[in-house]
């Protein structure tokens, strides 16, 4: 991410340098266009003067046309005037007046008096075409500059976004480093405690292995009993038969003892049932006697003394209640 950020910064700096160079080129082109426009204006004025001189030349006034041309030459810039004057002197064959010298000096010309109008028109047309081409080039460069400006702003926005992404990645990296450090500490602790844990597990398994093995074998023998017998030898089968017979004999003897105990318990139960019937009959008799006694007590008046007195009755009642409680 840092390398990508540095690369984007270098690209932005390079784009800014290109934009600065394009701005300088646009300024130079604008100055050139301004100069071309001035030249076009001057050529237009010169063309107007040439047309005016042509009209007057057709009327036969060559001297006035020369003065008009000289006036148009004086309107041009010094460098353009010198070039136009040199071309005019080369193409002319008559004596003409030089605007930069005295009015009375005469120059020998090699051609007829006048100026080639088609050449001037061609020069003006060429300059106008050049101006149009330069204008189109300037517009293209301006559009390219605007596009580069938009791209630069987009690159700057992307750079800011990349910086935000870099910050987020840096935060995530720090979190990941903390997590890795924590996991490394846990792994180191587990690695150090691993031998002790393995030793404890082995000790526990050594004590429980035999019992687990026996219980597992017994369960397998009970689950697959018939399959287990076919893998035994004849001696083992004979021993197993003897053990089974002894076990059956023990079970039969225990069954007989249990049957005898059940019979004895049945006889005892019958005796207890008979005793319970007698007890119930006695209880009924006592209930009847108690009822009669209560009726007699309620019907006859109580005497204080004598064998039929109150104390004797109370003693009889207490004795009957004790007998009833005993039966219950």
CA atoms of 282 and 74, how far apart (whole Å): 174
| Burial class, 65, CB count within 10 angstroms (exposed 0-12 / middle 13-18 / buried 19+) | buried
CA atoms of 261 and 255, how far apart (whole Å): 10
The single-letter DSSP state of residue 84 is: H
Res 288: pLDDT:
79
φ/ψ of 2, rounded to 5, equals -65, -40
Res 199: pLDDT:
83
Label each residue of 134-191 as H, E or C.
HHHHHHHHHHHHHHHHHHHHHHHHHHHHHHHHHHHHHHHHHHHHHHHHHHHHHHHHHH
The single-letter DSSP state of residue 107 is: B
Beta-bridged to residue 303, according to DSSP, are 309
φ/ψ of 82, rounded to 5, equals -65, -40
CA atoms of 145 and 309, how far apart (whole Å): 147
Cβ-contact 256, 301 below 8 angstroms: no
Mean per-residue pLDDT, 135-161: 82
- Tell me which of 168 and 49 has the higher pLDDT: 168
Task: Compute the mean pLDDT over every residue in the chain, rounded to the nearest whole number.
Answer: 72
Most confident of 99-108, 122-131, 266-275, 315-324: 266-275
Cβ-contact 42, 80 below 8 angstroms: yes
Q: Which of 15-24, 263-272, 290-299, 315-324 has the lowest mean pLDDT?
A: 315-324
Q: Which helix (H) or strand (E) holds 226?
A: helix 225-229
- Tell me which of 236 and 319 has the higher pLDDT: 236
- Tell me which of 101 and 311 has the higher pLDDT: 311
Model pTM score: 0.25
Q: Is the pLDDT of residue 162 over 60?
A: yes
Q: Is the pLDDT of residue 251 over 50?
A: yes
């Amino acid at each position: 991410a840092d390398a990508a950020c540095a690369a984007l910064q270098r690209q932005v700096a390079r784009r800014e340098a290109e934009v600065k160079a394009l701005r300088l080129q646009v300024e130079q082109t604008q100055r050139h266009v301004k100069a071309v426009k001035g030249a076009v204006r001057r050529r237009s004025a010169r063309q107007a003067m040439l047309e005016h001189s042509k009209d007057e030349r057709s009327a036969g006034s060559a001297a006035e046309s020369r003065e008009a041309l000289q006036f148009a030459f004086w309107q041009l810039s010094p460098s353009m005037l010198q070039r136009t004057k040199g071309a005019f002197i080369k193409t002319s064959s008559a004596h003409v007046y030089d605007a930069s010298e005295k009015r009375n000096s005469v120059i020998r010309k090699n051609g007829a008096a006048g100026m080639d109008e088609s050449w001037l028109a061609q020069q003006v047309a060429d300059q106008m075409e050049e101006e149009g081409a330069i204008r189109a080039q300037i517009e293209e460069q301006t559009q390219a500059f605007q596009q580069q400006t938009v791209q630069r702003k987009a690159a700057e926005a992307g750079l800011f976004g990349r910086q935000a992404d870099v910050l987020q990645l840096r935060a995530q990296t720090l979190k990941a480093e903390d997590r890795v450090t924590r996991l490394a500490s846990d792994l180191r602790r587990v690695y150090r405690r691993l031998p002790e844990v393995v030793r404890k597990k082995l000790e526990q398994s050594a004590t429980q292995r035999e019992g687990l093995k026996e219980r597992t074998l017994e369960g397998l023998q009970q689950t697959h009993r018939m399959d287990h017998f076919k893998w035994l030898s004849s001696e083992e089968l004979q021993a197993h038969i003897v053990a089974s017979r002894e076990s059956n004999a023990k079970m039969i003897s225990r069954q007989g003892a249990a049957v005898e105990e059940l019979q004895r318990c049945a006889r005892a139960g019958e005796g207890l049932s008979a005793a319970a019937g007698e007890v119930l009959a006695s209880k009924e008799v006592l209930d009847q006697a108690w009822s009669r006694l209560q009726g007699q007590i309620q019907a006859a008046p109580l005497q204080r003394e004598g064998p039929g007195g109150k104390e004797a009755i109370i003693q009889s009642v207490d004795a009957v209640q004790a007998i009833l409680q005993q039966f219950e």
